[in-house]
């Protein structure tokens, strides 16, 4: 092909490409490359096309070849960043977007996409700076404002995040996503009623917006509006990430009616704490005439065997017996019409194995006598809200100053290694986590402690289900089940809640806990015996 024919073919290809006729465009790009393998325009545009149809590996390879020939093409670097980000190669995408922005400082999309990648890699300050550079180029860009608001919320800058979302909303009043994000920011800042109003506006604009239904459910439940909250929470089965998690059975789902001796499968669907929390409904289902089979995580099987009204406990990796109906555990409050006033709180509903508890008693004896306090300072790193709820052991240092206390680590997971950090030696922690093989072991250990101090994780629910005293440290925007402002909870009468007064400010909370711990330990010393938390 002569140069004129190549240019004509490229022109025709781009016309097809813009019109969405990708097959015709691809044929022409390949015709050009057959005649001129090093044509950077054809390589770049064919790579862009490959990315559009999901062939991101091919896209990255083609665009890299184009850049090797023409490294000054800002758009090629940008499109390379898009493909690399789609492949999850975020570090490489950051390099590509930075190069695009360096070649063309006014490239708003490059600054915006760079910021999104930096946010995903945890470089939140750099992400915010990049969003601000994009806004400096175009202050009225609602998309960038919306993105900046989310980054500010993630950093804990709630007030500026809300203000930024409001600016985005003024520019894009018909965008349900902006109303949803504003609601999320308002909820995190503690403005729950305003958050609910924002979610409802998002749903007026887009009635099938699943994420808005889900956010509304959490806010309603946090606000104590249980009937509508539980109903809205059923939308979770329509969320993309939940579809794969859901268990699909040929048997019908239970609607709350009489069971007349039929076998019903109650199945776990979320984390350990959720399973422990909603196991309280097992006896109530049995009272409706059901023969109850419970499917749970393997680590909970021995513990749930303590529920006398369950006919059979099956681990999730075991074969299921025959059953007639099923219901997810977290749908039981909806099916059974739970309100704040009818929370089933017959405590304890789970129990430590007596023989196992006796064995742990020997392990946990202390001399001289002291207040025996279990500590859990971090939840699962995989939890989306873990950054807000988890602490480091160092942050709990003021607790170590309480006299007459012996601390025991029940911490599991990566954070357990902090017990061996010399900086935490002041706790004189007894590390028992290696002996905690499942929740039955943890229950038996708790039975021999005077008090548990924990962040909002599964062990808090375990203590509550056993009727064991526990102090729970809660973030400013807590999980829905803890409601608002209260220091107690109807779900677990033996739990005491210590809430953040400001987002991400743990020092004041830990100071209050330390003061209370000194008081309880002092009472124990004066009384010469155990005292409750």
Write out pLDDT tens, residues 467-507: 999 999 999 999 999 999 999 999 999 999 999 998 889 99
Round to whole Å and give the CA distance between 443 and 429: 19
26 falls within a domain: yes
Whether residue 363 sits in one domain with residue 332:
no
Q: Which domain holds residue 328?
A: 263-342
Q: What is the bridge-based pairing of β-strands 405-409 and 310-315?
A: unpaired
What is the CATH number for 331? 3.40.50
**Nearest CA-CA partner of 289 in 324, 319, 245, 318:** 324
**Nearest CA-CA partner of 459 in 518, 523, 375:** 375
Condensed to tens digits (0 to 9), the pLDDT of residues 132-144 reads 999 999 999 999 9
The last residue of a domain, from among 180, 197, 222: 180
Residue in the structure block whose two tokens are 């915010």: 128
For residue 524, is pLDDT > 90?
no
For residue 326, give the H/E element and its range. strand 325-328
Share of the chain above pLDDT 70, in %: 98
Whether residue 523 sits in one domain with residue 449:
yes
Number of Cβ within 10 Å of residue 402's Cβ equals: 20
Q: Average the pLDDT over 174-192 and give the result.
A: 96
Whether residue 379 sits in one domain with residue 459:
yes
Non-local CB neighbours of 281 within 8 Å, separated by 6+ positions: 266, 329, 332, 333, 336, 344
Handedness of CA 507, 509, 511, 513 (dihedral sign): negative
Round to whole Å and give the CA distance between 522 and 397: 19
Confidence of residue 526 (pLDDT cuts 50, 70, 90): confident
Span between the terminal Cα atoms of the chain, in Å: 86
32-36, 223-227, 373-377, 441-445: the lowest-pLDDT one: 32-36
**Nearest CA-CA partner of 283 in 294, 274, 269:** 294
pLDDT at site 530: 47
pLDDT at site 532: 43
Distances from the Cα of 416 to the Cα of 117, 281, 392, 424, angstroms? 30, 32, 10, 12
Whether residue 70 sits in one domain with residue 140:
yes
507 falls within a domain: yes
Provide the token pair at 284: 């109530």
More confident residue, 121 or 239: 121
348 falls within a domain: no
Q: What is the DSSP track for 93-143?
A: HHHHHHHHHHH-TT-HHHHHHHHHHHHHTT-HHHHHHHHHHHHHH-TT-HH
For residue 459, is pLDDT > 80?
yes
**Number of domains forming the structure of the chain:** 3
Whether residue 166 sits in one domain with residue 19:
yes
What is the CATH number for 440? 3.40.50.2000
Whether residue 129 sits in one domain with residue 176:
yes
Confidence of residue 528 (pLDDT cuts 50, 70, 90): low
Condensed to tens digits (0 to 9), the pLDDT of residues 260-314 reads 999 999 999 989 999 999 999 999 999 999 999 999 999 999 999 999 899 999 9
The last residue of a domain, from among 180, 208, 230: 180
Provide the token pair at 250: 């040929």
Q: Which long-range contacts (CB under 8 A, 24 or more apart) does 168-173 make?
A: 168/142, 168/143, 171/140, 171/141, 171/142, 171/145, 172/142, 172/143, 172/146
304 falls within a domain: yes
511 falls within a domain: yes
Whether residue 165 sits in one domain with residue 16:
yes
The last residue of a domain, from among 180, 213, 231: 180
Whether residue 361 sits in one domain with residue 329:
no
Residue in the structure block whose two tokens are 């083609």: 62
98 falls within a domain: yes
Does residue 75 contact residue 100 with C-beta atoms inside 8 Å? yes
Q: Average the pLDDT over 520-530 and give the result.
A: 72
For residue 372, is pLDDT > 50?
yes
Q: Average the pLDDT over 248-271 and give the result.
A: 93
Whether residue 502 sits in one domain with residue 428:
yes
Whether residue 379 sits in one domain with residue 330:
no
pLDDT at site 5: 87
Non-local CB neighbours of 508 within 8 Å, separated by 6+ positions: 500, 501, 502
Does residue 37 contact residue 11 with C-beta atoms inside 8 Å? no
Share of the chain above pLDDT 90, in %: 86
Does residue 484 contact residue 412 with C-beta atoms inside 8 Å? no
Confidence of residue 529 (pLDDT cuts 50, 70, 90): low
pLDDT at site 531: 46
Number of Cβ within 10 Å of residue 285's Cβ equals: 24
Q: Is 294 helix (H, G, I), strand (E, B) or coil?
A: strand
Provide the token pair at 248: 């699909």
Round to whole Å and give the CA distance between 345 and 83: 52
Round to whole Å and give the CA distance between 75 and 43: 12
Whether residue 378 sits in one domain with residue 332:
no
pLDDT at site 533: 42
Reading phi first (left if > 0) and then psi (alpha if -120 to 50, else beta), residue 485 is in: left
Q: Is 429 helix (H, G, I), strand (E, B) or coil?
A: coil
Report the DSSP beta bridge partners of residue 454. Answer: 376, 472
Non-local CB neighbours of 54 within 8 Å, separated by 6+ positions: none
For residue 76, is pLDDT > 70?
yes
Mean pLDDT in the chain?
94
């Amino acid at each position: 092909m002569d140069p004129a024919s190549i240019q004509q073919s490229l022109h025709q290809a781009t016309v097809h490409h813009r019109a969405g006729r990708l097959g015709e465009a691809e044929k022409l790009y390949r015709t050009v490359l057959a005649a001129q393998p090093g044509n950077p325009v054809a390589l770049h545009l064919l790579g862009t096309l490959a990315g559009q149809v999901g062939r991101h590996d091919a896209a990255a390879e083609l665009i890299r070849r184009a850049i090797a020939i023409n490294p000054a093409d800002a758009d090629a670097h940008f499109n390379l960043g898009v493909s690399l980000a789609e492949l999850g190669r975020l570090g490489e995408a950051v390099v590509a977007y930075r190069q695009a922005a360096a070649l063309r400082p006014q490239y708003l999309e490059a600054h915006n996409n760079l910021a999104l990648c930096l946010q995903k890699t945890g470089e939140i300050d750099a992400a915010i700076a990049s969003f601000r550079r994009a806004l400096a180029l175009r202050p009225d860009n609602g998309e960038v404002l919306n993105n900046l608001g989310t980054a500010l919320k993630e950093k804990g800058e709630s007030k500026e995040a809300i203000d930024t979302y409001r600016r985005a909303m003024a520019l894009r009043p018909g965008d349900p996503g902006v109303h949803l994000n504003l609601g999320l920011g308002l909820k995190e800042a503690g403005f729950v009623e305003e958050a609910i109003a924002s979610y409802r506006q998002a749903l007026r604009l887009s009635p099938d917006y699943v994420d808005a239904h889900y956010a509304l459910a959490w806010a309603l439940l946090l606000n104590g509006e249980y009937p509508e909250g539980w109903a809205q929470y059923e939308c979770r089965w329509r969320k993309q990430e939940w579809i794969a998690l859901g268990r699909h059975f040929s048997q019908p789902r239970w609607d709350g009616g009489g069971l007349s001796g039929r076998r019903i499968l109650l199945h776990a669907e979320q984390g350990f704490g959720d399973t422990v929390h909603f196991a309280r409904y097992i006896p109530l289902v049995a009272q409706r005439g059901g023969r109850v089979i419970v499917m749970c995580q393997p680590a909970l099987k021995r513990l749930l065997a303590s529920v006398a009204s369950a006919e059979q406990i099956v681990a999730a990796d075991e074969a299921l017996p025959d059953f007639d109906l099923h219901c997810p555990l977290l749908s039981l409050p909806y099916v059974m019409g739970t309100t704040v006033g009818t929370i089933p709180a017959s405590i304890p509903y789970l129990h430590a194995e007596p023989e196992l508890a006796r064995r742990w008693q020997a392990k946990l004896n202390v001399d001289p006598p002291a207040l025996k306090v279990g500590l859990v300072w971090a939840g699962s790193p995989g939890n989306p809200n873990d950054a807000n709820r988890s602490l480091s052991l160092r942050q709990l240092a003021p607790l170590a100053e309480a006299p007459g206390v012996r601390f025991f680590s029940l911490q599991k997971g990566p954070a357990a290694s902090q017990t061996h950090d010399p900086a935490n030696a002041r706790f004189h922690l007894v590390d028992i986590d290696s002996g905690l093989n499942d929740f039955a072991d943890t229950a038996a250990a708790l039975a021999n402690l005077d008090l548990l101090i924990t962040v909002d994780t599964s062990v808090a629910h375990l203590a509550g289900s056993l009727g064991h005293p526990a102090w729970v440290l809660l973030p400013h925007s807590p999980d829905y089940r803890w409601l608002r402002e209260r220091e107690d909870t109807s779900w677990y009468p033996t739990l005491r809640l210590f809430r953040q007064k400001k987002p991400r400010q743990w020092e004041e909370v830990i100071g209050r806990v330390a003061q209370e711990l000194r008081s309880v330990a002092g009472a124990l010393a004066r009384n010469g015996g155990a005292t409750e938390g």
